[in-house]
Amino acid sequence: MHEDPWTANPACVFHPRDLTEHNLRTMTRDFLYFAYGSNMFTHRLRARVPSAKAVGTGYIRKHRLCWHKRGWKDGSGKCDISFTGDRDHRVYGVLFTMSFSGKAKLDRAEGLGNGYDEKTVEVITPSGAVLAGTYYATAVDPQLHPYTWYKRYVIEGAREHGLPETWVRTLDAVETIDDPDPERAQRETRLLDND
């Protein structure tokens, strides 16, 4: 049985509360993105896509979170939503809107076509289900582990947006490895610490 995040944590709200005509026009004009990994951390995502704006939280069914996507730049483990078909499996995340030009920037940053592809998912929010775009891994290796700083992005993003504490504990239990490039690790840690 899963904890109900909307009862257990009132901070999990879908900000376009009543999906007014204005909000529907905005969401139609912009791209609605479901972030479940390091892009949940708003400062990181906005460094890549300045137009990104958090509009709520939710979860997708029939998937589980894996850390087996091979990073196309550093070879370490990155997050992936792996389809299971089991309705009891959930992955929590954050909904962002962004311009379509911002989506093109995110495609480049994520390496669309280099280990990630994209799909539309149904995201369950307190206001009901919405459709959003997201990425999924096409190049995986179950032996991979994330770098410590990468996992920290994921956890900090989950906390920033008030995802259920049981989910944060699940994220925190993931085994990490140290980044062999100390300059990169320092750069990424600085972004986390300067938020």
DSSP code per residue over 94-144: EEEEE-HHHHHHHHHHHTBTTTEEEEEEEEEETTEEEEEEEEEESSB-TT-
Position with higher pLDDT, 1 vs 107: 107
Tokens of 15: 């900000």
Packed helices 148-160 and 165-172: angle between N→C axes, nearest 10 degrees: 180
Residue 113's pLDDT band (boundaries 50, 70, 90)?
A: confident
- Residue 71 has φ and ψ, to the nearest 5°, of -60, 125
> In this structure, how many other beta carbons lie within 10 angstroms of the beta carbon of residue 130?
20
Which residue type sits at 193?
A: D
Nearest-5° angle of CA 78, CA 81, CA 86?
150
pLDDT at 191: 85
Q: What is the pLDDT of residues 164-191, one digit of tens each?
A: 999 999 999 999 999 999 999 999 999 8
Which residue type sits at 159?
A: R
Which residue type sits at 5?
A: P
Q: What is the pLDDT of residues 81-108, one digit of tens each?
A: 999 999 999 999 999 999 998 899 999 9
What's the Cα-to-Cα distance from 184 to each of 153, 158, 172, rounded to whole Å?
Answer: 14, 23, 22
Q: What is the mean pLDDT of the chain?
A: 86
Outline where the chain has alpha helix (H).
5-8, 21-29, 42-48, 100-110, 148-160, 165-172, 182-193
Asked whether residue 159 carries a pLDDT value surpassing 60, the answer given is: yes
Q: What is the pLDDT of residues 46-80, one digit of tens each?
A: 999 999 999 999 999 999 999 999 998 899 999 99
Cα separation, 84 vs 71, in Å, equals: 22
Query: How far is Cα of residue 186 from the mean position of the Cα atoms in its chain?
Result: 22
| HSE-up (13 A, CA, CB side) for residue 187 | 5
Give the least confident one: 24-33, 121-130, 180-189. 24-33
Asked whether residue 155 carries a pLDDT value surpassing 50, the answer given is: yes
Size (the chain), residues: 195
Spell out the domains of the chain, with CATH numbers in brackets.
5-193 (3.10.490.10)
